[in-house]
Chain A
Amino acid sequence: MEIRSNEFKERSVFAIHDANLQTALGRARYGFVGKRALQVAELPEFEQLREEAKNLKNHVLDHLDHYLERYEQAVTAAGGRVHWARDAAEAREIILGICKRVGARTVTKGKSMVSEEIDLNDALIEHGMEVVETDLGEYIIQLAHEPPSHIIAPAVHKTKDQVSDLFEAAHGGPRKTQIPELVDEARRVLRDKYFRADVGITGGNFLVAETGSSIIVTNEGNGDLTQTLAKVHIVTSGIERVVPTLDDATLFLRLLARSATGQETETYTTISTGPRRADDLDGPEEYHVVLVDNGRSKMLAGRFRDMLRCIRCGACMNHCPVYGAVGGHAYGWVYPGPMGSVLTPLIKGLDAAYDLPNACTLNGRCQSVCPVKIPLPELLRELRHLQHQQNITPVMQKRALGVWRWVATRPKLYHALEQIAARALSGIARRGRIRRLPFAGGWTDSRDLPAPTGRTFLELWQGKRGQQ
């Protein structure tokens, strides 16, 4: 998908005025946040689990080469195959290669954010394959020809009415209006696709080094049908998703469900290890894992390593007031919200997403709910620092900062200017406030400016106490 993150400002304003979007966002936000809070309250050791998860992830990242090699050995021993993709193009080539070799005509997909990241669907469709998203949310946005707006609830921006319209247009009438009817209709359409699929592609929530297993969690069971009914199962995953043992995976599973959807556990947790064995009742004939780097090893080497702890739960965006105001599409690429505002510039380039690290109040709510304690505000500020160093920050802003620094490091001048400002602003104030101020429309277009009283504190203090 073409990156449009530099249109963030326009897209966010558009989003704020989109009534359907605002209805959908309002409902979703409170659902996720409330359910998570209930789950956390019922698990006294939740904070301890976060700390353990952070430490375990850090350990894995410190020894990522070791665990990835162990993982590859275990996958191979189980009869599967690991492919290494340096970037999105290599990942697409590898997957296309497998699909073409087996003569794939229909490809089903469980939800995979990495496949969005590498633009997989378009590549497969260009080569004549039918691609069917089987996660209900992904299916809805596929019908709408839209990218996901949330990493675990891709169609969270859609209202029920909009889904009814999409289904009617795609499946024919009569138009369904009740959620169970809509779900039944999707299930009926998708059921046929599962059986026709040559290749099933899923993501991988966790990769287990000890056993060579990939783990996915879903609430719809669509991932299981995608990976067991097709002849070939391809797992797409970032290289950072490996954990040492199955035991370790359970730690993350406990955190993931609670943080993501506010469930104790998702409805389906599926562990796949290699292709179908001789005595298995079902399963794919081939099992492939495509491990995607796409900027991750660069993150590993630098100051953004903490970001690689991310388990893609979406809690940061659910709790982000900016995401809550504008939704995911405003961010202009695959990953929205706080985690996306860190990942997008790191994967696509600092200058491809100037606004993302800046469109944040650094309020810290994301970090406070992150199950692996990623210091998201710090990372966003660090990106601003890089923008500043690399002159991506707008010239006017840099100049303003330069002037501010020059004045603020001269206390007498600074205080004199504050005294002038206090007088000037109180002079133009009416009834204690200023309704419009030249060059300050960013403030006064929507807010009054409380007026100063005419004297600064330091001035009054010195008058009162003298120079002590």
Chain B
Amino acid sequence: MTPSPTAGPRVGLFATCLMNLFRPNVGFSAVKLLEDAGCSVEVPASQTCCGQPGYNSGDYDAARALARQVIEAFEHFDYVVGPSGSCMATIRHDYPALFAGDAQWLPRAEALSRKSFELLSFLADVRGAAVTVDARYAGTATYHDSCSGLRGLGIKGQPRALLGEVDGLKVKEMEDSEVCCGFGGTFCVKYPEISEKMVDDKVRNILATGADTLLGGDLGCLMNIAGRLKRINAPVKVYHAAEVLAGFADGPGLADAPKESR
């Protein structure tokens, strides 16, 4: 890796599992936003998952194994940024907890924790002065606050402030935007009926706004909600907020049909 030619910070992009597999466009949106904000972006190939599935399933050893891998892959960056409040809250809050009492790994986990950020809050809070949003989106969106980002990382105003600068975009708040959508990682397949009830409540609140677009900052929640919206044939497009902010929301939304090839 060569040192960045710019004076901006070197950012390691945490390519979350869901983004990597289901929605590469979110990754490219993140890269564009970070580069526009004066950062140089690298994507370490030695990364996989943050380890949260192991941690939340009570398998702390597995979580630690993954955490060590992330620490090694990212600790030499100025910042670690990922387009997910959930994964980044794991790195920020759970890594230090996982290595409590470990003289070797705790300092490394804490150091990584301090420089790890969810994308939208990083743009607004850390790179605020360098960020100018240059995007257009014709539509009315409502925003779902993902729980880990909201309560774990205090993300609430940042995405709204950024989205407020998008040309043509109106944001209309839904009722209970702060209530869980029923995704919850493996929860949604372990307790599918409860999850369905929760996502139905969420969908009802989304539809009540009349918005044509749902935005959020976590692909887990968005895939869950989009999956339910499409199942009931509701005409609401779903994007990660980064896609709209980067001006990359011109393609199909989550679970929407690809545009007819020419």
Give chain A's interface residues, CB within 8 Å of chain B: 9, 12-13, 16, 321-322, 325-326, 358-365, 367-368, 381, 383-389, 393, 397-398, 401-402, 404-405, 408-409, 411, 414-415, 418, 421-422, 431-433, 435, 440-443, 445-453, 455-458, 460-462, 465, 468
Contact = CB atoms under 8 A, between A and B. Distances in A.
19 contacts: A16-B194, A16-B197, A322-B194, A359-B194, A360-B184, A381-B55, A384-B57, A388-B58, A401-B54, A404-B53, A415-B45, A418-B20, A432-B257, A433-B255, A442-B192, A446-B192, A446-B228, A447-B196, A451-B255
Interface string B234-262: 00000000000000000010111110000
B253 to A, nearest CB: 8
B111 interface: no
Contacts of B57: 384, 388, 393, 397, 401
Nearest to A430: B257
A405 B197 contact: no
A450 B17 CA distance: 14
B125 interface: no
Q: Select the residue from A368, A401, A455 with max chain B CB neighbours within 10 A.
A: A401
Contacts of A16: 193-194, 197
Interface stretch (B59-67, B115-123, B132-140): B59-67
Given A364-B152, A433-B230, A458-B15, 20 more contacts: A325-B194, A326-B194, A359-B194, A361-B182, A362-B184, A365-B147, A365-B179, A388-B58, A401-B62, A402-B62, A408-B48, A408-B49, A432-B257, A446-B196, A446-B231, A447-B196, A457-B24, A458-B20, A468-B2, A468-B42
B212 interface: no
A33 to B, nearest CB: 9
Contacts of B62: 401-402, 404-405
Nearest to A326: B194
Chain B interface SS verdict (over half): helix
Nearest to B73: A411
B27 A457 contact: yes
Contacts of A421: 21
Given A321-B179, A384-B57, A405-B65, A448 B227 contact: yes
Nearest to A361: B184
A447 B189 contact: no
Nearest to A410: B48
Contacts of A364: 147-148, 151-152
B165 interface: no
Given A385-B60, A409-B48, A461-B27, A452 B190 contact: no
Contacts of B69: 408-409, 411
Contacts of A326: 194, 197
Contact of A448 (B21, B54, B60, B255): B255
B204 to A, nearest CB: 11
A465 B57 CA distance: 36
B212 to A, nearest CB: 17
B198 A365 contact: no
B43 A458 contact: yes
B78 interface: no
Interface in B136-161: 147-148, 151-152
A12 B58 contact: no
Contacts of B24: 453, 455-457, 460-461
A456 B21 contact: yes
Contacts of B26: 457
B191 A359 contact: yes
Contact of B58 (A393, A443, A457, A461): A393
A442 B184 CA distance: 13
Contact of A365 (B55, B178, B255): B178
A388 to B, nearest CB: 4
Contacts of A465: 43
Contact of A384 (B47, B58, B258): B58
Contacts of B198: 321-322, 325, 361
B252 to A, nearest CB: 6
B103 interface: no
A267 B97 CA distance: 43
Contacts of A432: 252, 255-258
Contacts of A365: 147, 151, 178-180
Nearest to B51: A408
A452 B21 contact: yes
B201 A361 contact: no
B56 A362 contact: yes
